[in-house]
Amino acid sequence: MKSGGGKSADTIANARLAAIVDSSYDAIISKDLNSIITSWNHAAERMLGYSAEEAVGLSMLHLIPEHLHDEESDIIGRIRKGEGVASFDTTRKRKDGSLVAVSVTVSPIRNSSGEIVGASTIARDISAAKESERRIRLLMREVNHRVKNQFAVILSMVRETNKRSANPGEFEDMIRARIMALSRSHDLLVTSEWAGASLFDLIQEHLKPFGHEERISLSGPLLTLQSNAVQNLGMAFHELGTNSSKYGALAGEGGRVEITWTVETGPQAQRRFHLVWQEASNGDTGTGEPDETARKGFGTVVLERVAPQSLSGSSSLERSPGALKWSLTAPLEAIVVPQLGTDTESDFSL
């Protein structure tokens, strides 16, 4: 080693190590064998809220929730034996009392004689990862619930469609169309990670296969529907669109479909969702009106019972020559994602 004013290799190495510790994104904390904090980097300050001046001299137990205090005793016991503690997930307590999820690794600190004099703790904030795990679990439960629900719906579709199909070919066509309709609603929900879907997008998606966009008008406030409303209203729009394209306004020339929805306030200040599907034909319906038996098929069951009951509401279905009107009223909280509905009117045209 050179003599004179040059720095020793040890001094340089220590300075580099201190710089690395100070600039680390992970909290790096050293403590003695009595769990008293002896050093504290900037990342620890950001994560846990204590400045270095406040933290040094405190017991590590200040950072650990009371029900996890035994964890520190176990760590110190292993450090005294010269053992490291492999990374494990736990919880630490900030200065303001809030909790943070962390991944912790602990290693012994030895002096120049090789004696264990303390421990170095590296803690990484894993709150974002834990939140992602929580969201994935919630989504999986939601998907599981919806899949089971859709199985029940499909079984009902098969049963009701089979009763009213004239031949296997007709049965296959109707079942395929209805399952595809469920799939369209499902796709909208998947795109939003099951957070809901715009009512306008839902109607547009279900009526797209029937064409004649220029003869369909939509008017109402911007609403984001809950997943349950997406599925059940989607089924209703598919059945209404199918009926209209075969027997109603979209079957011939000149017919029109108007879909309007509003948010109303009841006498006891309860907010209610009101939707009306109204169509009028010019008399040329192409295939003609269905007979009474066909009218009482699965579509009617959806419109008069399934959709309103699933949304805790009520509905009415009115038919007259050249016209059809379906209206649905339900509590707003059964329809929209909380705090995402607005009362601002916006007119749309498909």
The model's pLDDT over 77-120, given as tens digits with 9 standing for 90+, comes to 999 999 989 899 999 999 999 999 999 999 999 998 999 999 99
Q: Which residue has the higher pLDDT, 247 or 3?
A: 247
**Tally of CB atoms within 10 A around 217:** 15
For 120-130, how does the pLDDT look when each residue is reduced to its tens digit (9 = 90+)? 999 999 998 88
The predicted structure's pLDDT at residue 148: 76
The predicted structure's pLDDT at residue 31: 95
Whether the pLDDT of residue 290 is over 60: the answer is: no
Six-digit token pair at 28?
Answer: 């790096």
For 49-58, how does the pLDDT look when each residue is reduced to its tens digit (9 = 90+)? 999 999 999 9
For 21-70, how does the pLDDT look when each residue is reduced to its tens digit (9 = 90+)? 666 789 999 999 999 999 999 999 999 999 999 999 999 999 999 999 99
Domains and CATH numbers, the chain: 9-125 (3.30.450.20), 132-349 (3.30.565.10)
Q: Across-strand partners of 106? A: 85, 121
Whether the pLDDT of residue 5 is over 70: the answer is: no
One-letter amino acid at 338 equals P
Region of residue 322 (phi > 0: left; psi between -120 and 50: alpha; otherwise: beta): left
Mean pLDDT of 157-182: 79
Q: Average per-residue pLDDT in the chain?
A: 83
Whether the pLDDT of residue 344 is over 60: the answer is: no
Q: From residue 199, how far is each of 72, 77, 257, 322 by CA, in Å? A: 53, 60, 16, 27
Residues whose CB is less than 8 angstroms from the CB of residue 202 and which lie 6 or more positions away in sequence, other chains included: 185, 188, 225, 230, 233, 234, 237
Rg of the chain over all Cα atoms, to the nearest angstrom: 33
Mean pLDDT of 293-320: 82
Mean pLDDT of 289-303: 62
DSSP helix/strand/coil, 125: strand
Whether the pLDDT of residue 20 is over 80: the answer is: no
C-beta separation of 224 from 265 below 8 A = no
Total-model pTM:
0.60
The predicted structure's pLDDT at residue 288: 44
Residues whose CB is less than 8 angstroms from the CB of residue 86 and which lie 6 or more positions away in sequence, other chains included: 105
Dihedral over Cα of 329, 330, 332, 337: its sign: negative
